[in-house]
């Protein structure tokens, strides 16, 4: 039995993982920094109000994100005593905390300052890729809106606007251009300058590339990537058909295979760099691929959400043991479901927007009712248990993730949506097309272009 301390630096993002490890019989304590989210997981997972006081108790410490929002500041570099340091603060990411804990001899799943920067600073991320021989799409970073507008006018094309820094968490600010002359991007940049100029410290313009969007995800144990590798497909728009406002994620489809060309040409080239950093945990790079090449777009140097719930569902060798091995630099014997997996996020009004009055009226403490006794494939996000009843918790409107598995993507979809039909939750909504892109041709295209064939491991058929 292992003692796990789960630490949520901002929103309660790893509730389900903590619950899974707790159900496997391990000792678990869970800390949530954000006051508005501290009820999340109540009744499911043992909690603590002071994660620093539990560090010596814990065999493994797991961080959930790179962002921190607390007012406390770190006492100073190189501090070995706890007391006031290290703390959450708006000048430090969890990668610095994880790194310092490792230096004190603790087993930690989490990043480093440099890997945190991969997500925060998209320009730096592209530099790291290029320095290690990874092909990248044309991109430019700007701190001045007028300079970005001028670039588009002088180099007319379709671009993607990606905000930099903390404001990139406002998902609706990501804009994918449609006009070949870039005129719509110019209009959006003008609007952002007026509405967001005081908060957006910069932005990246990426040349838009057409193709199949796929994320290459690996678990790194401080020295190497663990086999097999996870390949997943994000669905960020709110509505079916990939329309509407951007969200953190509405659902994910995935599969696991060996070290194929997609891995070798992306994360595989960063294995030595990540080992030098001492990174431990999940890291993925989202890419656009077509018949001419593989084009990485952005990193997620942490768990993805709801990706981690679906990954945990497909791990068949014990989630707690896997993360214990990972944090301690061992080579886990990772056994996963060999077919396809689909996960769907169940949301409530006013998701993905913030409107306290609407949430209070439509969603707060909403009862989650199951028509059968089965909870198979149902994972919690913003949920709590009160006297045996599941309820919505927090203020984000994302109570559940429902998953399905199958030998084919269609079978995985069917199982997932059958499970959703068992849930009664007033005002719920979700996307009903998760996994369809693979069936409608993305899988065939990736096979035809040769990216899924093995360089070291099994192929995907």
The string of pLDDT tens digits covering residues 254-311 is 999 999 999 999 999 999 999 999 999 999 999 999 999 999 999 999 999 999 999 9
C-alpha span between 329 and 333 (Å, rounded): 12
Which of 167-171, 279-283, 336-340, 341-345 has the lowest average pLDDT? 167-171
DSSP-assigned states of every residue in 403-442: EEEESSHHHHHHHHHHHHTTEE-TT-B--S-TTHHIIIII
Q: Which pLDDT tens digit goes with each residue over 375-404?
A: 999 999 999 999 999 999 999 999 999 999
Sign of CA dihedral 168, 179, 286, 123: negative
One domain for residues 410 and 325:
yes
Q: Which pLDDT tens digit goes with each residue over 15-32?
A: 999 999 999 999 999 999
Residue 346's domain is classified under what CATH number? 3.30.470.20
Asked whether residue 398 is domain-assigned, the answer is yes
Structure tokens at 247: 């969200």
Please state, for a pLDDT cut of 90, what percent of the chain lies above it.
Answer: 80
One domain for residues 198 and 252:
no
**pLDDT in the model for residue 91:** 40
Mean pLDDT estimate for the chain: 91
Render the burial of 328-366: b for 16+ CB within 10 Å, e for the rest.
bebebebebbeebbbbbbbbbbbbbeeeeebbeebbbeb
One domain for residues 333 and 366:
yes
Place of tokens 């994660």: 51
Q: Is the pTM of this model over 0.75?
A: yes
**pLDDT in the model for residue 9:** 82
**pLDDT in the model for residue 80:** 37
Collapsed DSSP state (helix, strand, coil) of residue 18: helix
One domain for residues 241 and 322:
yes
Asked whether the beta carbons of 365 and 391 are under 8 A apart, the reply is yes
One domain for residues 376 and 251:
yes
Place of tokens 């989630």: 319
**pLDDT in the model for residue 244:** 92
Does residue 197 surpass a pLDDT of 90?
no
**pLDDT in the model for residue 89:** 42
Collapsed DSSP state (helix, strand, coil) of residue 149: helix
Q: Which pLDDT tens digit goes with each residue over 107-127?
A: 999 999 999 999 988 889 999
One domain for residues 67 and 156:
no
C-alpha span between 116 and 175 (Å, rounded): 23
Beta bridge partners of 3: 27
Confidence of residue 319 (pLDDT cuts 50, 70, 90): very high
**pLDDT in the model for residue 200:** 82
One domain for residues 253 and 347:
yes
Asked whether residue 129 is domain-assigned, the answer is no
- Which residues make Cβ contacts (< 8 Å) with residue 359, sequence separation at least 6? 348, 349, 350, 395, 397
C-alpha span between 427 and 405 (Å, rounded): 26
DSSP code, position 213: E
CB count, 10 Å around CB of 129?
Answer: 19
Asked whether residue 299 is domain-assigned, the answer is yes
Q: What is the mean pLDDT of residues 430-445?
A: 96
Most confident of 138-142, 220-224, 289-293: 220-224
Range of the domain at 423: 212-456
Asked whether the beta carbons of 231 and 255 are under 8 A apart, the reply is yes
Asked whether residue 355 is domain-assigned, the answer is yes
One domain for residues 234 and 147:
no
DSSP-assigned states of every residue in 335-354: -B-SSEEEEEEEB-TTTTS-
**pLDDT in the model for residue 301:** 96
DSSP code, position 451: T
Residue 177's domain is classified under what CATH number? 3.30.1490.20
Confidence of residue 454 (pLDDT cuts 50, 70, 90): low
Residue 30's domain is classified under what CATH number? 3.40.50
Render the burial of 88-100: b for 16+ CB within 10 Å, e for the rest.
bbeebbbbbbbbb
One domain for residues 101 and 147:
no
Which residue did the predictor score with more confidence, 51 or 139? 51
Confidence of residue 71 (pLDDT cuts 50, 70, 90): very low
One domain for residues 203 and 229:
no
Asked whether residue 195 is domain-assigned, the answer is yes
Asked whether residue 297 is domain-assigned, the answer is yes
One domain for residues 165 and 241:
no
Q: What is the mean pLDDT of residues 148-177?
A: 84
Does residue 460 surpass a pLDDT of 60?
no
Does residue 459 surpass a pLDDT of 90?
no
Please state, for a pLDDT cut of 70, what percent of the chain lies above it.
Answer: 91
Asked whether the beta carbons of 62 and 323 are under 8 A apart, the reply is yes
Q: Which helix (H) or strand (E) holds 7?
A: strand 3-8
One domain for residues 182 and 93:
no
Which residue did the predictor score with more confidence, 416 or 136? 416
Q: Which helix (H) or strand (E) holds 374?
A: none
Instruction: State the total domains in the chain.
Output: 3
C-alpha span between 301 and 24 (Å, rounded): 26
Structure tokens at 348: 């409530």
């Amino acid at each position: 039995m292992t003692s796990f301390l789960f630490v949520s630096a901002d929103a309660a993002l790893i509730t389900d993982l903590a619950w899974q490890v707790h159900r496997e019989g391990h000792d678990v304590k869970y800390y949530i920094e954000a006051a508005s989210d501290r009820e999340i997981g109540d009744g499911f997972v043992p909690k603590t109000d002071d994660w620093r006081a539990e560090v010596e108790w814990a065999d493994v410490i797991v961080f959930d994100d790179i962002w921190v929002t607390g007012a406390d500041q770190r006492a100073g570099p190189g501090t070995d005593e706890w007391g006031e340091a290290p703390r959450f603060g708006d000048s430090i990411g969890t990668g610095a905390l994880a790194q310092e804990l490792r230096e004190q001899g603790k087993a930690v799943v989490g990043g480093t300052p440099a890997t945190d920067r991969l997500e925060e600073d998209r320009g730096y991320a592209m530099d790291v890729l290029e320095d290690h021989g990874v092909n990248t799409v044309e991109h430019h970073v700007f701190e001045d809106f007028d300079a970005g507008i001028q670039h588009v006018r002088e180099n007319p094309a379709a671009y993607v606007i990606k905000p930099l820094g903390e404001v990139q968490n406002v998902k609706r600010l990501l804009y994918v251009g449609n006009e070949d002359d870039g005129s719509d991007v110019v209009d959006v940049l003008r609007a952002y300058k007026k509405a967001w100029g005081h908060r957006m410290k910069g932005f990246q313009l990426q040349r838009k590339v057409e193709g199949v969007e796929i994320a290459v995800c690996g678990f790194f144990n401080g020295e190497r990537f663990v086999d097999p590798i996870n390949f997943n497909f994000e669905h960020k728009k709110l509505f079916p058909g990939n329309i509407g406002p951007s969200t953190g994620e509405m659902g994910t489809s995935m599969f696991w295979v060996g070290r194929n060309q997609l891995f070798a040409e992306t994360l595989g080239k960063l294995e030595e760099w990540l080992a030098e950093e001492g990174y431990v945990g999940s890291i993925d790079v989202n890419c656009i691929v077509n018949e001419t090449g593989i084009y990485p777009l952005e990193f997620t140097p942490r768990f993805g959400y709801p990706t981690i719930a679906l990954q945990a569902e497909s791990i068949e060798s014990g989630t707690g043991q896997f993360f214990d091995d990972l944090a301690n630099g061992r080579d886990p014997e990772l056994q996963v479901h060999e077919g396809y997996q689909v996960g769907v996020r169940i949301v409530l009004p006013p998701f993905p927007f913030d409107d306290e009055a609407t949430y209070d009226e439509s969603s707060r403490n909403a009862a989650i009712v199951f028509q059968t006794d089965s909870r198979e494939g149902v994972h919690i996000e913003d949920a709590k248990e009160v006297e045996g009843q599941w309820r919505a918790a927090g203020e984000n409107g994302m109570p559940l993730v429902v998953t399905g598995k199958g030998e084919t993507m269609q079978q995985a979809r069917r199982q997932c949506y059958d499970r959703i039909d068992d849930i009664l939750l007033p005002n719920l909504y979700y996307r009903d097309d998760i996994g369809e892109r693979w069936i409608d041709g993305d899988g065939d295209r990736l096979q035809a272009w040769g990216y899924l064939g093995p360089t070291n491991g099994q192929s995907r058929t």
